[in-house]
Each structure stands twice: as structure tokens, then as C-alpha cells.
Amino acid sequence: MEKGEMMTGTQADAAREQSDVQNVPPERIWSQIIVLGITGGVGAGKSTILTALHEQYGALIIECDEVGRALQQKGAACYEPMRQLFGDGILFPDGTIDRKAVARLIYTDAQKRDMLSCIVHPAVKAEVRRQLEAFDRQTEAGFSGLFQNHGASEDRTACQAGEQSMPAPGLMAAGRLPDRAPDPQREEAGKVHPGKRRALAVVEAALLIDDHYEELCDEIWYIHTDDEKRRVRLRERRHYSDERITRMFEAQRSDASFRRHTQLTIDNTDDFVQNTFRQLKEGLKSHFPELFL
């Protein structure tokens, strides 16, 4: 099941607009790193962007869907709350969660769907923040080169291994992060100083705007692809029916809404991928010059 597929359709856009706050930070949020959020509709080609950011710019990649999967494993933050919500009927014989069974249950039960979101989304956001804090500290300690020589999953493992003393991610109130006491040194470090190079971390999810990831990201960029091109990709690569694709499109934000709540749009419609890479490079150089010092 694609994220957002079971949500309400275009009526949800108006409700989203009421709570969305576009936040363009005047200073960098983190001490040693830049955090870029990548969002967009299903089939927009976000994976192409993530691969380029990792391979060409050495970025640490955090995919929220993958974080959510990890948090649903036995012993992780979401496992027991989900078992209590849906019962043992969602479990395989070995005790792991059957995600398809969960999808079937929430398809017809909006209340359970909302309750699941309240379990998973805050836990994912807490874990993303933990990984970013670990990367920020390791970069400050001089370990940033480690993240330029491994894949995204290895990056996360290395990041976690260096932070074993940190508490495991827990559940929080939806849309909230733990309060943190002001740190004058951190605030000073977060300011953009001439000559200070930073490492790049990228957080990807379809719901970055809805879940207010501007609290963690210096900027959020929108990956746009024309609807017809997205349909072709989803039919050919994932073998989705037109009916399913239409439901998914209706459940997600409109193109106009994505553009209003992000700081840059990358057009990934062209089959010539170098055009996408050119836009990406120009955007990084103009928005985050500290990456190229």
C-alpha cells in the first residue's frame, strides 16, 4: 500500500492548508549539517533524486517509509502498540507484522487508520530526529567521510552504532517533538558563517509537509512529474491499475499545494535524466553554498 492511498481525496487539501505553516529558516537548524527534505507524489521519481544526492554529493539518505518498516519489527517502538490496536490477527506465525493484513483492515476502518497514523508517524519522526542528531554529532567529531563510502542503509547502521548510548525512539504526541533546552553554542553554530563547510543529510517522505518536517529540515523540495508520466511509470514498473492510480492521486496533495509549501521544485518529467541532475546541482549551489566550500 502506498502512503496516503487510503486517505480522503481532494477535500483533504483544504484541511491541510489550515494547519500548514511554510517555514523558511533564516538560519541553519543544525550545527554541522544541512538537512534537505524531499517530497512529492507517488511515481514522481524521488528515488532517482535520492540516488543522485547520495552518489554525487555524499548525502546521508533517510527514507521515512524504511524507518517506519524498521519500527514495526519485533521489539521496536511501533510493534506492541500495533498489536494491541489490531490484535494478533495481523501477525505471521513467527510473530512479525503482516503489513498487507494491516492494509486490509485500515482500508475499511477510517478510525483505525487514523489511530495507526498516531502510532507510526510520531515514532518515525522521533527516529529521524535521532539519526540526524547522531549524524550532526559525528560530523562535528570528524566522521563525515564515513557517510560518503556506504549505501543509505549502511549509513543508518553506522550512525546508530556510533550512538549506542542514546535511548531507543519512543512514541510521542502526534506532530510533536520533545522540548529541548536552549543551547547558545548550538544556536551560534547553526548560523551561516562564511567558510564553514557542512555535510548533507536528506529526509524523504510523501508526508513531510503534513507531518511538519520543517522542524527538522532546512528546506523541503518538491519533485514534480506530470500526471500522465507518473501513470505510465506506475503501470509499467509497479503494474498498478488505472483505478488504483487515480485513487492514489486523489488522496495526495495537489501540485499547487506542494509548490506552495516547499522552497524549490525540481521537474523530473523529462526522460533525459541529466536535465533533472542539472536542476538539482543548481539548486544545491544556490540554496546551500556551504556544501561546496
**Which residues are within 8 A (CB) of 186 and not within 5 positions of it... i.e. 6 or more apart?**
31
Burial code (b: 16+ CB inside 10 Å, e: under 16) for 156-177 equals bebbeebbeeeeebebeeeeee
45 labelled as ligand-binding?
yes
CB atoms within 10 A of CB 119: 21
Q: For Cα atoms 132, 96, 118, give the angle at the middle one, nearest 5 degrees.
A: 50
- pLDDT class of 155 with cuts at 50, 70, 90: very low
Output the pLDDT for position 14: 53
Q: Is the pLDDT of residue 75 over 50?
A: yes
Q: Is the pLDDT of residue 51 over 80?
A: yes
pLDDT in tens, 173-231: 223 233 333 344 434 444 444 457 899 999 999 999 999 999 999 999 999 999 999 99
Output the pLDDT for position 271: 87
Distance of CA 268 to the CA centre of its chain: 18
- Where do the structural domains in the chain lie, given as residue ranges? 11-64+120-292
44 labelled as ligand-binding?
yes
CA dist., res. 75 & res. 232, Å (int): 39
Report residue 255 as a C-alpha cell. Answer: 501540485
- pLDDT class of 28 with cuts at 50, 70, 90: confident
Ranking 76-80, 143-147, 259-263, 267-271 by mean pLDDT, the lowest is 143-147
| Residues 260-269, mean pLDDT to the nearest whole number | 96
Report residue 267 as a C-alpha cell. Answer: 521537474
Output the pLDDT for position 48: 94
Chain-wide mean pLDDT for the chain? 80
Rg, the chain, Cα only: 19
CB atoms within 10 A of CB 231: 17
43 labelled as ligand-binding?
yes
- When the candidates are 3.30.70.260, 3.30.1330.10, 3.40.50.300, 3.40.50.150, the CATH number that belongs to 11-64+120-292 is 3.40.50.300
Output the pLDDT for position 74: 95
- pLDDT class of 4 with cuts at 50, 70, 90: very low
Percent of the chain with pLDDT over 70: 73
Question: Helix or strand or coil: residue 219?
Answer: strand
Q: What are phi and psi of 64, to 5 degrees?
A: -65, -30
